[in-house]
């Protein structure tokens, strides 16, 4: 079995309690103790926690108050996203020494295409251990690794022996191993799709044989076809190693609950407008269509508005936010704001006979960006942002160590 060459070999690297593990590594006095990371010192919700904390029943998404009831010695640690990104970037670069085909799935997960590396590195077991050793060497942290013949089965395998585990499911065993597994345990099958399948008698992966692939394809298109194969241990999805051009660039932030103070809402919207504009400029992009949202107790209010000409200036984006405040806000409590640039394009791509002169604004923004890049975000910023939220940035779910996804 050790010497059998697999027709396809995929590994999934999953860091163990990544943020909490970094904190414990950087602060040895916290090793072996129940640690939970929150968004800033004033954060009330746990982003992630150490395995020592999990032993008390503490979990991601839990409130600090509830965590302290379960464990009075619980240690709250403010998140340091810049540090987590630094460690992740180092890990992802090291993994490329094993194989050049690495898909960064998230800040703490990556797929590795190992099919053509078998002659170089050996069996799945040897490569699994090599991956774990490589990660530990560059970060001092442990990880769990799953190896199989497709992405979905590899990801499922990675979580079977956590923490610090290695699980290998040969492709010829994948269908049998997945058969008793509930379909909703596979990555990509949400509760909505799970409900659709349950209504048709599909509860486990083994039940999927009862359902014609055409029925899933008719309801969900190509993703439906992929789900059918995923449950058979034959996920056809290839690794995605290139980041496609952005369809949107957005930022949102939770405001103090039930905020009705217009000045506070204005400041939060300006904060998000400037963050969106900074990212557009960083990647030489601009947009003329922006989605502005205000979340109330009844749901989202807002609209998609357009500027006369493409822009990457926070002030012009903020003008749209002010229009939304005037048209769609009736004084009800706000819980979150969101500003998103839609369909950004390379700057200067769209020429206009009647365009306005942006040279002065561009020069000002260039100076501001240079100062902030050197000395820290918003060191130079509109005066109103002195009253912005003191909550730290967070890592975007689709973070990548390169391109427009390299952001927090």
Strands 109-113 and 334-342: unpaired
Q: How far apart are CA 73 and CA 34, in angstroms?
A: 7
Place of tokens 């499922």: 156
Nearest to 108 by CA among 54, 56, 145: 145
What is the C-alpha R_g of the chain? 24
Q: How far apart are CA 380 and CA 364, in angstroms?
A: 11
Percent composition of the chain: helix, strand, coil (DSSP 3-state, to 5): 40, 20, 35
Strands 75-78 and 35-38: parallel
Q: What are the φ and ψ backbone dihedral angles of 290, each rounded to 5 degrees?
A: -135, 135
Both tokens of 122, joined, read 């050996």
Catalytic residue check, 109: yes
Active-site choice (23, 52, 109, 274) = 109
Q: Which helix (H) or strand (E) holds 289?
A: strand 285-296
Nearest to 73 by CA among 87, 84, 58, 61: 58
Residues with a catalytic annotation lie at 109
């Amino acid at each position: 079995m050790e010497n059998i060459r697999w027709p396809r070999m995929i590994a999934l690297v999953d860091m163990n309690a990544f943020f909490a593990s970094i904190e414990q590594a950087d602060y040895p006095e916290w090793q072996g103790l129940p640690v939970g990371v929150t968004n800033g010192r004033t954060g009330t919700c746990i982003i992630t926690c150490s395995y020592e904390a999990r032993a008390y029943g503490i979990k991601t998404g839990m409130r600090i108050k509830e965590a302290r009831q379960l464990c009075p010695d619980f240690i709250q640690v403010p998140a340091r996203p810049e540090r987590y990104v630094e460690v992740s970037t180092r890990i992802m670069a090291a993994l490329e020494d094993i194989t050049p085909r690495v898909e960064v799935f998230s800040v703490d997960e990556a797929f590795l295409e190992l099919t053509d590396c078998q002659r170089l590195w050996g069996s799945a077991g040897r490569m699994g251990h090599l991956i774990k050793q490589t990660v530990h060497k560059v970060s001092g942290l442990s990880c769990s690794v799953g190896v199989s013949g497709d992405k979905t089965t590899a990801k499922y395998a990675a979580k079977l022996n956590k923490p610090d585990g290695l699980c290998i499911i040969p492709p010829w065993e994948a269908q049998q191993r997945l058969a008793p597994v509930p379909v909703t345990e596979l990555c990509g099958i949400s509760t909505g799709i799970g409900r659709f399948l349950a209504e048709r008698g599909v509860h486990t992966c083994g039940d999927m044989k009862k359902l014609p692939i055409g029925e899933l394809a008719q309801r969900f298109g190509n993703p439906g076809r992929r789900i059918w194969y995923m449950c058979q241990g034959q996920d056809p999805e290839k690794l995605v190693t290139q980041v496609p051009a952005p369809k949107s660039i957005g930022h949102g932030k939770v405001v103090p609950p039930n905020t009705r103070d217009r000045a506070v809402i204005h400041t939060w919207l300006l904060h998000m407008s400037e963050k969106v504009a900074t990212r557009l400029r960083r990647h030489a992009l601009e947009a003329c269509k922006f989605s502005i949202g205000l979340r109330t107790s009844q749901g989202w209010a807002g609209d998609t508005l357009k500027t006369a000409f493409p822009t990457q200036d926070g002030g012009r984006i903020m003008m749209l936010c002010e229009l939304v405040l005037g048209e769609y806000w009736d004084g009800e409590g706000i819980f979150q704001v969101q500003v998103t640039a839609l369909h950004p394009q390379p700057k200067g791509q769209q020429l206009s006979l009647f365009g306005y002169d942006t040279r002065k604004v561009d020069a000002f923004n260039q100076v501001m960006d240079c100062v902030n890049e050197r000395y820290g975000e918003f060191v130079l910023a509109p005066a109103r942002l002195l009253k912005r939220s003191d909550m730290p940035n967070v890592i975007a779910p689709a973070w990548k160590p390169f391109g427009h996804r390299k952001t927090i």
